[in-house]
């Protein structure tokens, strides 16, 4: 039963991300978002620790002290800020967030909306992704440009709604970035 519930959660999430990515013109990312969730290391953990209202990776982390599923996932999906952590050439080799290509920042933003909708269900509001972000942002190792764009999009979503922010992404954020990224 947990396997079926987990699969439905993944499919619902991927469908929400696909719709969001298609609205802003990121068709390839919409189609291939989070494909690693079907790998055994991620899927089986999701089935075992499925709860329905939050990520099973958190439960695995509490149980084992780390999440093998998350370590696998973040290393294969460029829309996660953790994928972009590396040794900084400016800060004497300390770990730091590297600048994320714009299309992955946008996918990360859409991923946050979709996860909030998936877990909040009918209680979801356009403020949820911002509130979730603000609850943990002091822990995020993120490049300042990446942080600025993500925060701008999250605030715009909370204040102006999904249609306005998706239009802004399509016409302003991604318009001239496609050739660079």
Domain residue spans of the chain: 78-173
Residue listed under structure tokens 């946050």? 112
Q: What does the pLDDT read at residue 91?
A: 83
Contact 154, 129 (CB under 8 A): yes
**Nearby residues of 86 by Cβ (< 8 Å), 6 or more positions away:** 95, 96, 98
pLDDT tens-digit readout, 49-90: 999 888 999 999 999 999 999 999 999 999 999 999 999 988
Over residues 152-176, the mean pLDDT reads 96
**Under 8 Å between Cβ of 106 and 173:** yes
User: Which phi-psi region, left, alpha or beta, contains residue 104 (left: φ > 0; alpha: ψ -120 to 50)?
Assistant: alpha
Q: Among residues 33, 163, 171, which one has the least CA distance to residue 111?
A: 33
DSSP state of 97: E
């Amino acid at each position: 039963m947990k396997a079926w519930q987990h699969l439905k959660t993944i499919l619902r999430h991927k469908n929400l991300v696909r719709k969001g990515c298609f609205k802003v013109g990121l068709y390839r990312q919409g189609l291939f978002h989070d494909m690693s969730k079907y790998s055994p290391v991620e899927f089986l953990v999701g089935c075992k620790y499925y709860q329905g209202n939050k990520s099973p990776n958190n439960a695995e982390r509490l149980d084992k002290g780390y999440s093998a599923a998350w370590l696998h996932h973040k290393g294969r999906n460029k829309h996660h800020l953790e994928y972009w952590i590396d040794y900084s050439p400016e800060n004497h080799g300390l770990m730091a967030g590297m600048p994320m290509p714009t299309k992955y920042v946008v996918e990360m933003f859409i991923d946050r909306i979709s996860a909030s909708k998936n877990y909040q269900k009918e209680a979801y509001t356009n403020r949820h992704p911002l509130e979730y972000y603000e609850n943990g942002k002091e822990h995020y190792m993120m490049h300042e440009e990446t942080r600025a764009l993500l925060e701008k999009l999250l605030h715009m979503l909370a204040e102006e709604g999904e249609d306005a922010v998706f239009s802004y992404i399509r016409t302003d954020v991604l318009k001239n970035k496609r050739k660079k990224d």
